[in-house]
Every structure is written in C-alpha cells, then in structure tokens.
Amino acid sequence: MASWGDLEAAEPAFAERVRALLDAHRHKTIATLRADGSPRISGIEATIADGELTFGSMPGARKGADLRRDPRFGLHGATVDPVVGQEAAWPGEVKVAGRAVLVGALPGGGPEGDLFRADLAEVVHTHLDDAATMLVVDWWTPERGLRRVERS
C-alpha cells in the first residue's frame, strides 16, 4: 500500500485532479465493515496534508470502532450530477480504498477522537471524455500504476 505522497510522486497530474475533487466539498462518505461483516456508510471529513490523507472519528463513533477492528475502508468524494446539455463539464467522482492506520488522538484544539491516516490500495476517478460520449475510469494502484478504461 502507499501514502498520498507516493501517489503524488508517481502520478502528480492524476493526484492533483483527484485532490481537487476531494477538496471541492467538505463532506464525504466512508464505508467500513461492521463486526458481522456487513457494510456501514457514514459521513466524514478528510484532509490531505504533508503527503497523507487523514480522517478522524469522534469518541464512541461506530465508524472508528469499525476501523480499529478491521481497517479496510472505501472513501467516496461528494457526487454532483452532470448538468443536462453540459455533460462534458461534469468533473466526475472519486473513490479511495485502502486501510486506515490509527495515528493517535485528533490534533489539539478540536473535539476528542481518533485520527487515522489512509494506507492507499486504490484511487479512482470516474468521469466523461471531452465529447461526453464515453465513461472514463482512471485508477491507480501502487502495484500497477495508473490505468484507464473507456466505456461507451
């Protein structure tokens, strides 16, 4: 797995595009695994700084308990609908998957809770081509680098 800094070093333009979409909206959605293995989705805020993608969990939050028990997660950036007639301008959506590594307590001054950093397994940007005729999926993994699939 890899850090956000590893992604930036390997594919700076892709990392910048994904980061712009993650930073465009404060709230994201995270998927974690409950104790019985079923999925849980929760709202979350995430930050990219100093080469790390991090997110927190307040004391007693189920998502934090999920991540401490099973660190696998999926993070989905905010989704906006394409504007009819302007589909080519749709920025797309981003997804990040990996493992959450408990760093410690949330930094001082704010609420108590746990701080996690993302150990990246996959980063995906789904969007349309310039003519808005094909769905384009760009995805990066530490093992295979950046790949693209286009679907009509």
3-state secondary structure 14-33: HHHHHHHHHHCCCCEEEEEE
Residue 147's pLDDT is what? 98
Q: What are 121-143's pLDDT values in tens digits? A: 999 999 999 999 999 999 999 99
d(CA 29, CA 147): 24
CATH of the domain at 73: 2.30.110.10
Across the chain, the runs of DSSP E, i.e. the strands, are 28-33, 39-44, 46-49, 52-57, 72-76, 93-105, 114-128, 135-141, 145-151
110 vs 146 pLDDT, higher one: 146
DSSP-H helix ranges across the chain: 4-10, 12-23, 62-69
Average confidence (pLDDT) over 38-42: 98
Residue 28 has pLDDT above 80, yes or no: yes
Model-level pTM? Answer: 0.94
Residue-number span of the structural domain to which 46 is assigned: 4-151
Q: How many domains does the chain have?
A: 1
Give, in order, the Cα–Cα distances in Å from 136 to each of 14, 41, 67, 149, 152: 13, 25, 31, 6, 9
Residue 109 has pLDDT above 80, yes or no: no
Residue 13 has pLDDT above 90, yes or no: yes
